[in-house]
Amino acid sequence: MMITKLEEKKQSMYDTVLNQFEKTADLIGLNPNIKKILSLTNNEIIVHFPVKMDNGKVEIFTGYRVQHNNALGPYKGGLRYHPTVDVDAAKALAMWMTWKTSLAGLPYGGAKGGIQIDPRNYSLGELERITRRFTYALGENIGPEHDIPAPDVNTNAQTMAWIADTYMSTKSPSERSQNQHVVTGKPVGSGGLEGRDRATGFGVYHTIKLLHRSRGETLEGKTFIVQGFGNVGYWASKFLVEDGAILLAVQDAHATLYNAEGISVPHLLEHSSPRKGSIKGFEGAKEIDPDEFFGLECDILIPAALGNQITEENAFKIKATVVAEGANGPTNPEGEEVLLSRGITVIPDILCNSGGVIGSYFEWLQNRNGELWQMDEVLEKLEKKLTQVFKNVEGAVKEKNTDWRTAAYIIAISRIELAYNQRGIFP
Ligand SMILES: NC(=O)C1=CN([C@@H]2O[C@H](COP(=O)(O)OP(=O)(O)OC[C@H]3O[C@@H](n4cnc5c(N)ncnc54)[C@H](OP(=O)(O)O)[C@@H]3O)[C@@H](O)[C@H]2O)C=CC1
Ligand SMILES: O=C(O)CCC(=O)C(=O)O
């Protein structure tokens, strides 16, 4: 059977996460029974549901929720609306969530899902109806103590508000308010956490800062380039520039922009927001060939878009000395081998972008306890938690004399192994 380019890409995202897992499992001598369990996903839920479009016609949509593992707590992870969403992509992304929540020491497992659509093709009203029908179709496969979705690519606080409202409406009046934490990343005012919007980007920035600090450097004058100017790319850029770094180039799905003098983050946001997120046409930078992006001279590269962007085909071009993975799975194993052999430090996704799920955990606690946390309190707690997680990984890098991803995986997988062993199931 002929494999299309797109299918090859999706296939390799799942291969990537399995390769990373198996490498660590072998390194730490993971109990073979636990290895078997973690190699597979617990549940793969696929739902088909009808939605009436603005023109009166009915379209059938396909939605996914893959629950990888819940040894440490309820399943947790985002929902993505994108044409590349399918069961393999969701499996890979769900596994990454398991490692991420474990590494961060959160009482969660890992899940991911979404709908295979390009949301740009639908009106706001249609997106609302699609989201509500998807939630209804998922039914009790999600739940505040069972599986808690959150925003990911092309979903946001509004999407989460529709999900929470639909899910809560299926409960009896007395139970409704106890179910608000069925999703995190909600709008502030509807149970959302102050600061969850910036939590992932803040984490990307903070881990980059900590890495530089551990080398006796600051971010003042450091140059960086960002792929993706959505939630993660924007907030990471904003915090970095506020700390003295210079944004040289930005790439999204529609354009690649470059300015040797630095790109203004607020101006680029102002330009891109009303145009549904695209940076194309921004006057504060020149548009360059997308193929030039990874080879640009800079200190830090932040992939903050989709998976499998840094591969053996372009890793040799990268000039940055630090790759900070805002996206999930942006580097394939072959690409990483090239980066490491060239002395480039990779801050792995499960550490670098973990600010998002840590923020989600705070929101979940806030809802569960009927509290309202303030922005300064949230950012302080987030910074403290991220610093602790970073130091744990840094310690393992030194102790095991290994790269950052392997160190992070050793911690994450060992914690899950310990939980299984403590239950006494696998002598
Ligand atoms: N949101 C969160 O809290 C978290 C997100 N992540 C990960 O971060 C990444 C980005 O997520 P998020 O910022 O939320 O998503 P958004 O939807 O907010 O933004 C996605 C960005 O990626 C760009 N993009 C899409 N396809 C391509 C492409 N082929 N080449 C270049 N750029 C592209 C989009 O461009 P365009 O607008 O032109 O389509 C957009 O700028 C994902 O990998 C996600 O899983 C990880 C942890 C938490
Ligand atoms: O906030 C969350 O629960 C998960 C966010 C997410 O999807 C991710 O970290 O990749």
Would you say residue 1 has pLDDT above 70? no
Task: Indicate the pTM of the whole model.
Answer: 0.96
Q: Which ligand is nearest to the CA of 82?
A: 1
**pLDDT (mean) for 376-385:** 98
Chain mean pLDDT for the chain: 95
Atom of ligand 2 nearest to the CA of 149: 3
How confident is the model over 44-99, as pLDDT tens digits? 999 999 999 999 999 999 999 999 999 999 999 999 999 999 999 999 999 999 99
For residues 329 and 336, give the distance between their C-alpha atoms in angstroms, rounded to a whole number.
11
151 lines ligand 1 (CB under 6 A): yes
Q: Which residues contact 158 (CB under 8 A, 6 or more apart)?
A: 187
Contact 132, 170 (CB under 8 A): no
Q: How confident is the model at residue 267 (pLDDT cuts 50, 70, 90)?
A: very high
Averaged pLDDT for residues 198-226: 98
Indicate whether 314 pLDDT > 70.
yes
d(CA 73, CA 159): 24
Among the listed residues 212, 127, 120, the one whose alpha carbon sits nearest the alpha carbon of residue 163: 127
* Ligand 1: residue whose CA is nearest its atom 19: 230
Q: How confident is the model at residue 274 (pLDDT cuts 50, 70, 90)?
A: low
Instruction: Provide mean pLDDT across the span 114-127.
Output: 96
CB of residue 152 inside a 6 A radius of ligand 1: yes
Domains of the chain: residue spans and CATH = 41-181 (3.40.50.10860), 198-352 (3.40.50.720)
pLDDT of 275 over the 70 cut: no
The verdict on whether 112 is a catalytic residue reads yes
Ligand 2 atom at minimal distance to the Cα of residue 148: 3
* Minimum CA distance residue for ligand 1 atom 39: 253
Secondary structure (DSSP) of 104-122: TT-S--EEEEEES--GGGS
Residue 410 has pLDDT above 50, yes or no: yes
The confidence band for 175, taking pLDDT boundaries of 50, 70 and 90, is: confident
* Residue 276: per-residue pLDDT: 59
Question: Which among 414, 354, 346, 405 is positioned nearest to 106, based on CA atoms?
Answer: 354
Q: Between the CA of residue 267 and those of 63, 238, 245, 255, what are the distances in Å?
A: 36, 11, 16, 16
What's residue 178's pLDDT?
87
E strand intervals along 104-245 = 110-115, 147-151, 223-227
For residue 214, CA distances in Å to 17, 366, 387 come to 28, 33, 12
ipTM: 0.99
pLDDT at 3: 34
